[in-house]
Structure 1
Amino acid sequence: MSPLIDCLLIGLGATLIMDLWGLVRHPLLGMPLPSYYLVGRWLGHMPKGQFRHQAIAKASPVPGETLIGWLAHYLIGVSFAALLLLITGSKWLTSPSLTPALAVGLVTVLAPFLLMQPGMGAGIAASRLPNPGQARLHSLITHGVFGLGLYLSALGLRLFN
């Protein structure tokens, strides 16, 4: 396959693994199920010039916000897979290793900490939430699972190539 198709499949696979983790942690840890409609709402307000909100849940709904949010979630996952391949080169595809994938997965937590959470009203690294430490820990774990998903998805691709 081409590196572009590989990147797409690895990013989609890693994001799916992250979402499966979200389903598993719901009964195990009592965390809410993954839903990205508020991301869609946040993104949907951007063309109107609104990039920051006091509380995104209180912002007016945007048509198609659930679809926008889920599509953005998966496109971001593919972008992060591209980042991994940009850093490691296409040689990583022939011999995937866990360390770079996990490192990129953990570094991607900077996106919600520094962009999404402040823009949606939660503050930098969830500082305005009632329990920011717990929110940060869950974000780190989830992005670590994403990194593991990058690795597992690349291994899966190798099996089928």
Structure 2
Amino acid sequence: MSTRLQPGDTAPPFTLLDADENEVSLADYRGRRVIVYFYPAASTPGCTKQACDFRDNLAELNEAGLDVIGISPDKPAKLAKFRDEQGLTFPLLSDPDRTTLEAYGAYGEKKMYGKTVQGVIRSTFVIDPDGKIEQAQYNVRATGHVAKLRKDLSI
């Protein structure tokens, strides 16, 4: 099992390519609260539901001082197609070698259809303006997750 982050831990730094192949770093968000969520694959039913849920709640999250970043192992071209098809308005970052996924404990053994497999563990982190983990949620559900997150954050 990979290491799991806890509230108070320093968020592992990252610099990854977005859907347009521009570098985006966690350091770019210093001084702001940011939601970083990890999802298995663009354009799959659960991941589409989750991304659209973030999209549909983005205005309220932004008003509450939260930015959103989605990270998956997908290549930038696939992320661009996903973004454009779903009208996503927050950065989707590519982590094909899974370095960032592993640093956040969002890649490893998980149960899928009763079998143990290696893969992306759907996870969400709220990072405070100083780069510390405020919340670490592992094995989140694609459906209803953003509503739960808003409730947890009193938004």
TM over 0.5, shorter chain: no
Q: What's the TM-score once normalised by structure 1's chain length?
A: 0.28
Q: Which structure: greater strand fraction?
A: 2
Q: Which structure: greater helix fraction?
A: 1
